Amino acid sequence: MHPNPVFHDKSRQECLEFARTRAFGVLSVNGDNGPLLAHVPFLLSGDGAHADLHLVRSNPIARALRTPLDSVIAVSGPDGYVSPDWYGIEDQVPTWNYSAVHLRGRLEVLPDDALRGVLERQSEEFEARLAPKPPWAMGKVSGDALARMMRMIQPVRLHVDAVDGTWKYSQNKSEDARIGAADGVSQGFGQDVAQLGDQMRRWRDR
């Protein structure tokens, strides 16, 4: 998270909605020999109190969860390089604009009998976003195949204690400089740069 408070002006609810919509992030815990990371889809509860996910049992994080662990899910949005030439003002330096939310809390293993419910809720949520496509359902998988798959994974829950978000959109610059940077970013490189540029332009409408 960037330390400048000007980039942290969204509410907890806005941060939660961002994380809920993205639904994918980097899960991290401290391991015996350094940080352990996993890229995971997750389902955030309606009140934002917890995030449910699943891990392959051979995942190092799953193996480390003998007891609950402090953890964070880092959720990233659009990002892109910003050339100082795009501001149209003197004495600027390159930077990188981005949006991100961190969900911090206690990670624990759920009982095995909770796994099917976690998987069903995830697939129902994500399939619904594909409407009008007919939703896929777990009933389409044969019992034997489903049982084999489920033996390989375990349900996990992050109890969310803290939420922090950064929206670094050059809002610490003048409006003209920010719009100039947005136009440049849209044609530059990064992840979803057209979306990033659009969000930078619309910041004045907040």
Give the DSSP letter of residue 90.
S
**Better-scored residue on pLDDT, 95 or 33:** 95
Q: What is the pLDDT of residues 34-46, one digit of tens each?
A: 899 999 999 999 9
pTM of model > 0.75: yes
Of 134, 149, 205, the residue nearest 175 (C-alpha): 205
Query: pLDDT above 90 covers what percent of the chain?
Result: 90
> Are 97 and 191 contacting, i.e. CB atoms less than 8 angstroms apart?
no
Neighbours of 157 (CB within 10 A): 21
Residue 78 has pLDDT above 70, yes or no: yes
The pair of structure tokens assigned to 6 is 């000007």
At residue 108 the predicted structure's pLDDT band, cuts being 50, 70 and 90, is very high
> Are 25 and 42 contacting, i.e. CB atoms less than 8 angstroms apart?
yes
54-81 CB burial, b ≥16 within 10 A, e <16: bbeeebebbeebeeebebbbbbebbbbe
Which residues, 6+ apart, have CB-to-CB distance to 99 below 8 Å?
18, 76, 77, 78, 79, 165, 166, 167, 168, 169, 196, 199
Domains in the chain (CATH in brackets) are 5-197 (2.30.110.10)
Of 68, 73, 77, the residue nearest 38 (C-alpha): 73
> Are 15 and 76 contacting, i.e. CB atoms less than 8 angstroms apart?
no
